[in-house]
Amino acid sequence: MIIRINHASPFRDEFHQCGRGDQFSYEALNLLYEFFEDTDPDMELDVIAICCDFAEGSWQSIAADYSIEIDENENEDEQAEQVRQYLEDEGVLVGEVSGGFVYRQH
């Protein structure tokens, strides 16, 4: 059965019902909902696949996970911008949230 979701609240609820309510912040789930609405509004919702394909992380954790060379002479905002640029260059950035970035894992 396919369930049509036409606003973010049921989208977020599905993550909680699948036991993945803590996988993303509230802000990140809203961002992911908007991303899927813009890119593929008729997609079938697969919470587990989204959790496997996408992540939310601080710029520091992303830099460590992907071995991004960060200029230590830059301030934190500039270092975060280096990570943002990396994600954009890789074509995986979904967006920015208060705790960091939402991106497609690669």
Lookup: tokens for 63: 């830099």
Q: Between these two residues, 1 and 35, which has the higher pLDDT value? A: 35
Lookup: tokens for 105: 């894992």
Beta bridge partners, 100, equal 97
Q: Between these two residues, 8 and 50, which has the higher pLDDT value? A: 50
* Contact predicate 31/95, CB 8 Å: yes
How many other CB atoms are there within 10 angstroms of residue 58's CB atom? Answer: 14
- For residue 82, what pLDDT is reported? 97
Q: Which residue has the tokens 């919702």?
A: 45
- Contacts of residue 56, defined as CB under 8 A and 6 or more positions apart, other chains included, come to 23, 24, 25, 28, 97, 99, 100, 101, 102, 103
- For residue 63, what pLDDT is reported? 98
Residue range 30-48: mean pLDDT, rounded: 92
- For residue 41, what pLDDT is reported? 85
**In the chain, where are the structural domains located?**
8-104
pLDDT digits (tens, 9 = 90+) for 52-82: 999 999 999 999 999 999 999 999 999 999 9
